[in-house]
Structures are given as C-alpha cells and as structure tokens.
Amino acid sequence: MSERKEFRDLVPPERAREVIAGLELGGGTERVPLDAARGRVLARRVDADIDVPGFGRATVDGYALRARDTFGADEADPARLGVVGDVHTGEKPGVTVESGTAASVSTGAVMPPGADAVVKVERTTREDGEVAVRTAVAPGDGVMAAGADVAAGERALGPGIRVTPREVGLLSALGVDEVPVRERPRVGILSTGDELVRPGDPLEHSRGEIHDVNSYTIAASVEEAGGEPVLYPHAGDDYGEMERLLREAATECDLVLTSGSTSASAVDVVYRVVEECGELLLHGVAVKPGKPMLVGTIEGAAYVGLPGYPVSALTIFRTFVAPAIREAAGLEEPPTERVSGEMAVRERYAEGRLRLMPAGLVERGDGGTLVYPVDKGSGATTSLVEADGIVEVPADTDYLGEGQPVEVQLFSPEVRPPSVLAVGEDDPAFSRFLDAIDRPRFLPVGSGEGLRRLRDGVPDVAVVAGPTERDVESVELGAWSREWGLVVPPENPAGVEGLADLVDREVRFVNRNRESGLRASLEAAVSELADDRGTTAAGVTDTIDGFELTRRAHESPARMVEDGEADAGLGLRASSEALGLGFVPLGTQRVRALANPDRAGKAGIRDLETAIADGTVLDTLAGFEQ
C-alpha cells in the first residue's frame, strides 16, 4: 500500500504570494504584426521615422491661396482671385498659386506650391473663372503643416504602453507593420485525474466520469491575465505519463499549471513528480478554498499545482497566479471594483484559515446592497456563475453576522447585481418567463427552501409549487398550473396505471428531492392512498422501490427513465413529451411567483410580473395553463 502523503506546514497566504512572485515567468521581447498587436504591451520606445502628415494638407474644402491676398477682404469688399485649377485628395498638385490666384482644394489634399492658407468654400463665391473671398485669412489657416501630427525623430510611444485601437492607429500612420512587444508567458495546462473526460467526448457515468472543466476555464483565465495558454493531453493519475507530460510542458512553457492531484491522497502523485524533476517550494496554503496548492519548479520552469475542484482552482488562480502572469506580461493590475454591503444571513466559519467566500449581490428595495454566500461546495461549477465576487474572511473570524458590513471584491468592474434574484421551484415555464428579463438570476433550490429564503429576506422572488406548510409575507406576481404524474418509457411496458402500481408491483421508481413541490404533491397523494388502505404513509413509501432515490431537477427522473435506469419517474407531462416518453397523470398543481413585499416596485420584478401575465409561453408547454 502506498504511504499517504501528509500536507507540509500550511504557509500563510502572504508567503505563498511571495514564493509565486519569485518564480521566473519569462518576460522577453518579440515582434508581432500590427494586426496582432492589440492588447499587447510595448517592450521598447517607438520613434517616428517619418513626418505625419508628410506634406502640408488642406483641412477644409475651399481655396488654397496666399493669405496676404485676402487682407482687408470682407462681405462688402471681397478679394477677387483668379482660379488656376483644382487639387483633389490623393493627387499631386498640377498648379502653382501665385499672387492674385487661388486653387480649389478638397479636404486632405496636398497644398499646391505658393499657397500658405485655405479659405472655407462657405466664405467664397465662384463665377466667371474667379473666386470672390469674403473674409480675410492668416497664413496657416485651414492647413495642417508637414509633421504637425508627429515629426520625424519624435518619440511616438513609450515602453509599457498597452496597445489599444488608438495606438494601432498611430502606428499605422507611422507605417509600422511590426511592433516590439513583451512576450506573453507561455502557460502549459494539464488536468489530472482518471475520471476526467474532455468536453465533446461521451461520459460513462457508471465509472464516475465527469467532463474536464478546469483545462478550459483555466486556459480562459490565463488568456485574460495576459498569458498564452497551451493545453496538454489529459494526464490521468499514472505516474509515468504525468512525468512525461510535465517534462514536455516544462521544456516548452514558462509556467506549468496542473489542477487536481495536489491533496494528500495516496493516488495523488503530482508532488512526487515535482520532487523528482525539480524543486517543491511549498505544499499547502492556509486558505479556503484551495488549501492543497503546490508551488515549485520543473526542469527550470515555474510550476503551480491548483486544486481539482473548479471553484477552488479558479479562486486560487485569480488570487495568487494571475498577478504573476500579468507582471511577466507587463500588464498593470486591473482595477478591482469593490462593493460595500451587508450580510443577508448569518454565516458561520471557524477553520483558522483565510476564507475566500464566493458571494452574490442583491439590491434591496431601498437601494442598499445585500451580500449572501454562494457555496454549493468546491465541486459545484455553478458557484462560479452564481457569485458576483469574493469576500475575504480573516482566519480569526468565527462568523459573519446578519446585517454585518462586508466588502465584496467583484470578479470584474462590469459585474452588476441581477435585476431579479429568484429562488425556488425548478419549473420550465418560469425559466421561459425569465428569458424576457434583463440580467435575472435563478437558484433552483426547491419550493421549501425557496420559501425559507424569502422569509429570511434574501431573494426578490420565490417560485413555489404544490402544497406548502409555510405562510410567508409576500406579493403574488402571478400563477399558473402544470400537470404532474409518472413519466414512463414509450408504450409503458411495465403497464403502470397509477400510484398504487408503485406499491403493489415491482416497479423501479425515481423520485424528486424533498424540497421539490412535485415531491410535496406526491407525498400528499401517498397519504391519501395510505388512508384508503388503513396504513401509514411510511408503510406505503417503504414498499416503493426507489422512493428515496431522488434527483434535483424537474427533468432528471425523466432522463433516468429514458436511459432505462427506472420504470417510472416523478415528473411533468411537459418533460415526458419533450423527451418522447409516456405519461401517467396524477394531478395538477398550482405554481406561484411570490415577491418580497419590500421589493415589489423594483423594475425587474415589474418586468417579470408583465411576462407572467402575458402567459403565451405556456402554450408551448404540454400540461401547462394560466
């Protein structure tokens, strides 16, 4: 049996930042085509080799002339000059302006020899080969002199400037086709774990396989930080293959990132590869999430091992690794938008580590901001998109109290609270109502939990279905009904006709979770059946094969039926028809959207109320009615 590797002494977050900042991540210079320079950082000064413009040019449509010929001219006594020809943009002048003459010019045209000013066409009248000039002009009026924009030999742009479309325009004007920029650190990315499968490849759930989330999310984060991500094949947990890939990545990249295989499990082998091929500088940081982080070198290249869970991996990357990549790429730290708010609920915490708590924002009716924790566990990828930022909870904090002021570091300055924060029953009609709203957020926690959260004052709206035991002060935005029952395979091969068949026959059943409104309606029907038979509800459910086998989403039991894993599943007629399955109706239930009364006037809630009242989406869902 392999010896279990214990964590080294956990280092403080500040020490981890110091160690990562001390890694060598490149930072050389390269030349890139102008059309690839946007977003890159200039590595050295760019001087102008030419005048811009390279000639005196007219800045208005009008007449090029000698300014002294117009002195004293006005509306009553215009200066009259002979027109010697026209000069158009993009052509060499074929005329010379002498005393007493003028040439018609277009904006951007080369000034003809002899002319030192341009009078606007609006202040002239042309007739019989002459032009009457009704105003006096001074030398240089209406003219941009050669080199007036940028003069040859002048400093045009300095090192350290990030190239934006403005700089691209200037470089184009200077005729620069290749730009000297800071090299972007090449970052090799390897996800480890035998259970991982790349997106696009089929999953074998019976083997515990999951899609590889980290390779792509980390690659996107590397690019956002200014690095060049390089994806390597999935390494698995095989020592030899992992060593080969790590060595290959180290010879081709400035920094190697792995995710997973950093904990103390006997199958986690990354730390052994690092110790064999380089130097392990630290193993473990006093931070949550992300304690099992590795930092070291492999074959001279920098190495950081990120935790395997997506929330942990990206939180640690953002906090510790992204600043080092930006520094190597020459990029400034982005402005970190911070929002002050109050905790919506009490949050307990006493683990002696810095906690980077994912948090969501919701606006109160009075315009204030509430902050609520978003934590389904590090393995839940939806936490990444349901959170708006991070609250740093110091290691010596036991809990955050309801109403306690906190500061949220937003994931980006563009983050805004959702227009509507809704929680509760997972319902296909409500999902469609939300499509009509700008920036909604919905957390499918079930009817029971939705009511609890509405009572606690966190969400704007709770969606509730079926019988409920709780009364919560609220404003009803609208309601609709849906038909529920048992989803069965096509042609119903088991011959299921009703709830009694689940009790009396060998039928494999899959249920919904306890917070679901569908589950509440089913349990009410079970109680009625138990009364009819003179027994208890528990006595009935104990005879149902799979009653405690539950799934969270409204369509999940139907999909298990579709895959042949169950003979019947609790669900909706709409789900059965969408998947081409059979359906045994058991009843209808009312679904209600209930608003927090203090926030009923929010614009997003009013929009949601309008969408529900319209109700046309119900026509597209079998078994749904207003």
Residue among 332, 313, 307, 297 nearest 225 (CA): 332
- Please determine, for residue 265, whether its predicted confidence score (pLDDT) is greater than 80: no
pLDDT recorded at residue 78: 96
Distance, in Å, from the CA atom of 360 to the CA atom of 259, rounded to the nearest integer, reads 25
Distance, in Å, from the CA atom of 511 to the CA atom of 579, rounded to the nearest integer, reads 18
pTM here is: 0.76
Helices 517-533/447-456 angle, 10° precision:
120
Residue 235, amino acid: A
Distance, in Å, from the CA atom of 201 to the CA atom of 205, rounded to the nearest integer, reads 12
* Same-fold call for 29-52+149-182 versus 338-417: no
Distance, in Å, from the CA atom of 463 to the CA atom of 595, rounded to the nearest integer, reads 9
**Interval 558-609: pLDDT, tens:** 999 999 999 999 999 999 999 999 999 999 999 999 999 999 999 999 999 9
Strands 461-465 and 354-363: unpaired
Q: What are the C-alpha distances in Å from 442 to residues 424, 477, 557?
A: 8, 16, 21
pLDDT recorded at residue 5: 46
pLDDT recorded at residue 260: 76
Which numeric CATH code is attached to 13-26+185-329?
3.40.980.10
Q: Taking the chain, what is the end-to-end CA distance rounded to the nearest angstrom?
A: 63
**Interval 30-70: pLDDT, tens:** 999 999 999 899 999 999 888 888 999 999 999 999 999 99
DSSP state of 318: I
Right CATH for 29-52+149-182 from 3.30.70.60, 3.40.1410.10, 3.40.50.1100, 3.90.105.10: 3.90.105.10
Structure-block tokens of residue 205: 């759930």
**Interval 163-203: pLDDT, tens:** 999 999 999 989 999 999 999 999 999 887 667 777 777 87
pLDDT recorded at residue 376: 54
CATH fold of 338-417 reads Beta-clip (2.40.340)
**CB neighbours (10 Å) of residue 155?**
10
**Interval 429-475: pLDDT, tens:** 999 999 999 999 999 999 999 999 999 999 999 999 998 766 789 99
Q: What is the mean pLDDT of residues 367-394?
A: 77
Is the pLDDT higher at 128 or at 383?
128
> What average pLDDT is seen over the chain?
89
Let me know how many helices (H) and strands (E) the chain has, helices first.
Answer: 16, 37
What residues does each domain of the chain span?
13-26+185-329, 29-52+149-182, 57-144, 338-417, 476-596+601-625
Q: What are the C-alpha distances in Å from 216 to residues 170, 196, 198?
A: 35, 13, 9
CATH class assigned to 57-144: mainly beta
Residue among 400, 403, 484 nearest 447 (CA): 484
**Up-side HSE of residue 499: CA atoms within 13 Å toward CB?**
24
Distance, in Å, from the CA atom of 485 to the CA atom of 588, rounded to the nearest integer, reads 8
Tokens 């259970």 sit on residue: 195
CATH fold of 476-596+601-625 reads D-Maltodextrin-Binding Protein; domain 2 (3.40.190)
